[in-house]
Amino acid sequence: MRRPFIAGNWKLNKSIDAASALAQKIVEGVTPDMEVDVTIAPPFTALAAVREVIESSPIALAAQNCYPEARGAFTGEVSPLLLRDAGCQYVIVGHSERRHLLNESNDFINRKVRAVIGSDLHVILCVGETLEERENGKTFNVLSKQLKECFLGVPASVSQQITVAYEPVWAIGTGKTATPDQAQEVHCFLRDMLDRNFGGEASKIIPILYGGSVKPDNIAALLAEPDIDGALVGGASLKAEDFLALIRNALGM
Ligand code: PGA
């Protein structure tokens, strides 16, 4: 089994002080003997403060988004190079909130994926179908298009820098989780797609996280599935007690 990977996506939440306090509690709760990779994604404004708090801990720093250009006249945008400078090791790309609220296309997300990898950072690519797409039997078509188009031009040699997060849009922030069976069916399909896209070895290395209303009480059943390697957690990552309980339950502690 791949080592469990738990990522907390704080979205548009937490002032600098609140983010530092939450990060401090996570540092205290995740001890180096725990066989888990943990990363947290605060808002941009709190990256520097959180970086200081987690500096000598095993917790990694992630950004929630980036712009695909390295520098230039792009008011309000942040490049992967600047995120690396700010101490990030991971960048989340293609989150459904950005796809839907900001109309981000697979093509634009592909540029971001390549920019993140080209800046020696690790990308967490989110994919997922809407409820309408699922009900119309289009889940696998949508996912295969997202994966293919978002990884266009990305070689298998960088697979160590890639994580995929399956986040069914209908399960994000709604309290509706995909059942472990539903999630496993899709993860298995995605693993197969990665195999076709990058070749066998890469598809074994690339972690596939599940996201969408993951909580301390459903993480263990999800992780028991062979192709679910961890979770991208929104709501339950905003309180240290919940996030730490989720990590402990992921490890069966
Ligand atoms: P949620 O969010 O855990 O609050 O459903 C998950 C995500 O959007 O990454």
Model confidence pLDDT, tens digit, residues 221-252: 999 999 999 999 999 999 999 999 999 999 99
Q: Which helix (H) or strand (E) holds 136?
A: none
- Rounded mean pLDDT of 183-208? 94
- Rounded mean pLDDT of 204-230? 96
Ligand 1 centre to CA of 73 (Å) is 32
Whether 4 has a pLDDT exceeding 80, the answer reads yes
| 51 residue type, one letter | R
Supply the mean pLDDT for the chain.
96
Ligand 1 atom nearest to 171, measured from its CA? 5
Helix axes 139-150, 106-118, angle to 10 degrees: 40
pLDDT level of residue 200 (50, 70, 90 thresholds): confident
Q: Which residue has the higher pLDDT, 253 or 46?
A: 46
Residue 95 annotated as catalytic: yes
Ligand 1 atom nearest to 232, measured from its CA? 9
In whole angstroms, how far apart are CA 181 and each of 147, 201, 208?
21, 25, 15
Kindly report whether the global pTM for this prediction surpasses the value 0.95. yes
Report how far residue 135's alpha carbon sits from residue 202's, in angstroms, rounded to the nearest whole number: 31
Q: Which of 94, 102, 159 is nearest to 127 (CA)?
A: 94
Contact 40, 26 (CB under 8 A): yes
Q: Which of 95, 129, 133, 187 is catalytic?
A: 95
Whether 97 has a pLDDT exceeding 90, the answer reads yes
Residues 6+ apart with CB under 8 A from 239: 22
Whether 2 has a pLDDT exceeding 80, the answer reads no
pLDDT at residue 1, as a whole number: 56
- Ligand 1 neighbours (beta carbon < 6 A): 9, 167, 172-173, 211-214, 232-236
Residues forming a β-bridge with 166: 127, 210
pLDDT at residue 228, as a whole number: 97
Ligand 1 atom nearest to 9, measured from its CA? 9
Residue 100 annotated as catalytic: no
pLDDT digits (tens, 9 = 90+) for 130-189: 999 999 999 999 999 999 999 999 999 999 999 999 999 999 888 888 899 999 999 999
The residue to mutate among 6, 9, 169, having the most atoms of ligand 1 within 8 angstroms of its beta carbon, is: 9
Ligand 1 centre to CA of 121 (Å) is 22
Ligand 1 centre to CA of 169 (Å) is 9
Report how far residue 56's alpha carbon sits from residue 77's, in angstroms, rounded to the nearest whole number: 29
- Rounded mean pLDDT of 80-84? 98
pLDDT at residue 162, as a whole number: 98
pLDDT at residue 112, as a whole number: 98
**Residue nearest (by alpha carbon) to ligand 1 atom 7:** 234
Locate the DSSP E strands across the chain: 5-9, 37-41, 60-63, 90-93, 122-127, 162-166, 208-211, 230-233
Percent over 90 (pLDDT), the chain: 93
- Rounded mean pLDDT of 38-64? 97
Q: Which residue has the higher pLDDT, 89 or 203?
A: 89
pLDDT at residue 32, as a whole number: 84
Say which DSSP state 172 is in.
Answer: T
Whether 26 has a pLDDT exceeding 80, the answer reads yes
